Amino acid sequence: MMTKTLAESVFVAGIVFLICYIFHAGRAKALNERPGWAWVMAGLCVLLFASTIYLWRHLGGAAPSGNPDGAWVYPVVQYVIGFLGGMVLLTVGLLRVVADGRRGELQTDDVLTAAIEGISEGLIYFDADDRLVLVNGKVAEMYPLARDVFVPGASYETCLRAGVAKGQWGPEAGGDVEAWIQRRLAHHFNPKGPVEFNMSDGRIIRVEERKTRDGGIVGIRADITDLRQARQEIEAQRDELEKLNAQKDRFFAIIAHDLKSPFAGLLQFSEILATQTSSMNAKNVAEYGAMVHRAAEQAYELLEDLLDWSRLQLDRMEYEPAPMDAAQAIMMCLSRFSPLASAKQITFKNDADLKYRVHADARMIDTVLRNLIDNAIKFTPDNGVITIRAGETEGFGFIEVADTGIGMTRKKLENLFHLDQKHSTRGTRGETGTGFGLLLCKELVEKLGGHLQVESTEGQGSSIRFTLPIHQN
């Protein structure tokens, strides 16, 4: 009874392994896809089925018919053959399992190596004894002059000093080499965040090192040159946007506030003329009429300047450079401002001696001269002198407007062409201004290919000179 139970148990075990073998073999996509365990299970199946047959026939007393005396021989031979076959299959299976395991380890190493070589950053690893264990090809690309210093087993200090000797890295010109090496060693053994290094070829390398659990140090090297340039471009664009935004605010402030000043005078004087004409003599009416005209003229000129400047910013300024007589343009502008200068007993001194015609847009030059002479009158006290000079210098024609006015401080001179800085000053008779005219003059002159320069001393006066291309015959 016990023998029968044992035989049934062995038979059931054989069935189980046979099912496992069939299942495993069915999942395999090809014969050579990890067949080791299939061979092992096949061998176990043969061993178990051979044992079952032996137990049933030999221990149960069964024998082949017609040969009762040799009844034990046949089951034993059958069992031995099954046992040997099962052992062969089992041995082959175990050898295949070992081979598959080794092949899997090699494949894992290949995948890991490919992954390390495939990353875009340089990877370097030193063990707990500070010996170089691993370095990928990206490090050699980053440090072409020091590609042969990364020898397995070399210490970090050895690599560091070899790189300094080859000129791949090191302190800035004139720096202490040994102090630089000691700082790098201190950071290597006690990393505290990333550090950046400027290479001799202009590249910027970021180095970030961390300690591993076993005491080693893994380092990442990344070329951040393009990233730094992109960041600088973004910062420059941000600064430019902030500047443009400030200019926009100032521009709207001029429109909202300063443009109202001439209109306020225009409304006031016109109201007097409209309501009190009957009580005024002809002289008073003429005076108020002149005031109305001047206020309207100021409003128109300011509005025209604003429109010109806005067109310049949008690059929609239409201009037609042509040969023109700068001396004649100066005479016409002085004639226009003669009554205003006479009201303050200011003397015009015209020293223009420009023998050649300049190549410029007449309307633009008129706008520049109008603003410069108007400012000179505004900031020159009574009985002052305004001198206009013109001539040639270094292949260009120049026009200069100099006055004996109140001048400007150094700080105001530095911010003169910054629209975001409010630097308008009242004239010697309380004349209002926007501080906007000079900026427009500078941009108009540069649009014509010239250059505008301002010199001023507080309490002594100002001199503004601009150049223009001479017309080539």
Q: Are residues 285 and 356 in the same domain?
A: no
**Cα angle at 143 between 139 and 144, to 5 degrees?**
115
244 within a domain of the structure (yes/no): no
Calculate the average pLDDT of the chain.
77
> Could you read off the pLDDT of 319-330 as tens digits, one per residue?
888 999 888 999
**Cα angle at 72 between 68 and 74, to 5 degrees?**
95
Give the pLDDT confidence score for residue 104 in this predicted structure.
55
Q: Would you give the distance in Å from CA 40 to the centre of its chain?
A: 62
Separation CA 305–CA 42 (nearest Å): 99
Q: Are residues 375 and 294 in the same domain?
A: no
Cβ atoms of 87 and 43 within 8 Å: the answer is yes
Q: Are residues 48 and 132 in the same domain?
A: no
Of 89, 117, 145, which closes a domain? 117
Q: Are residues 434 and 288 in the same domain?
A: no
365 within a domain of the structure (yes/no): yes
Q: Are residues 292 and 358 in the same domain?
A: no
Q: Are residues 332 and 443 in the same domain?
A: yes
206 within a domain of the structure (yes/no): yes
Separation CA 185–CA 181 (nearest Å): 6
Q: Are residues 268 and 369 in the same domain?
A: no
> Could you read off the pLDDT of 161-213 as tens digits, one per residue?
988 888 888 887 778 889 988 988 988 888 888 888 887 778 888 888 999 88
Q: Are residues 286 and 371 in the same domain?
A: no
pTM > 0.75: yes or no: no
Amino acid of residue 245: N
219 within a domain of the structure (yes/no): yes
Q: Would you give the distance in Å from CA 77 to the centre of its chain?
A: 84
Q: Any idea what the CATH number is for the domain that residue 381 is in?
A: 3.30.565.10
User: Rounded to a whole number, what is the largest CA-CA distance in the chain?
Assistant: 166
Cβ atoms of 416 and 429 within 8 Å: the answer is no
Give the pLDDT confidence score for residue 145 in this predicted structure.
83
With 0-12 / 13-18 / 19 or more C-beta atoms within 10 angstroms meaning exposed / middle / buried, residue 315 is exposed
Per-residue pLDDT of the chain (473 residues; tens, 9 = 90+): 445 555 555 555 555 555 555 555 555 544 445 455 565 666 566 665 566 655 555 555 444 444 455 555 555 555 555 555 556 666 666 666 666 666 655 555 566 667 677 777 888 889 999 999 888 888 888 888 888 888 889 999 998 898 888 888 888 777 888 998 898 898 888 888 888 888 777 888 888 899 988 889 988 888 888 888 888 899 999 988 887 787 677 667 666 656 666 677 778 778 888 888 778 888 888 887 887 887 787 778 777 777 777 777 767 777 888 999 888 999 998 988 888 888 889 999 998 887 788 999 998 898 899 889 988 998 899 999 999 999 888 889 999 999 999 888 888 888 787 765 655 566 666 665 556 778 888 988 998 999 999 999 999 999 999 999 998 76
Q: Are residues 304 and 353 in the same domain?
A: no
63 within a domain of the structure (yes/no): yes
Q: Are residues 193 and 76 in the same domain?
A: no
Of 86, 117, 148, which closes a domain? 117
Nearest partner of 318 among 170, 153, 418, 447, judged by Cα: 447
Q: Are residues 80 and 205 in the same domain?
A: no
428 within a domain of the structure (yes/no): yes
Per the structure, the count of domains in the chain is 4
Give the pLDDT confidence score for residue 30 in this predicted structure.
46
Supply the range of the domain harboring residue 280: 259-315
Q: Any idea what the CATH number is for the domain that residue 178 is in?
A: 3.30.450
Of 300, 315, 330, which closes a domain? 315
442 within a domain of the structure (yes/no): yes
Using DSSP bridges, classify how beta strands 204-211 and 195-198 pair: parallel, antiparallel or unpaired.
antiparallel
Q: Are residues 135 and 211 in the same domain?
A: yes
Q: Would you give the distance in Å from CA 399 to the centre of its chain?
A: 43
Kindly state the tokens that stand for 130: 């500070």
Nearest partner of 365 among 471, 291, 263, 259, judged by Cα: 471
251 within a domain of the structure (yes/no): no
Give the pLDDT confidence score for residue 62 in this predicted structure.
46
Give the pLDDT confidence score for residue 295 in this predicted structure.
76
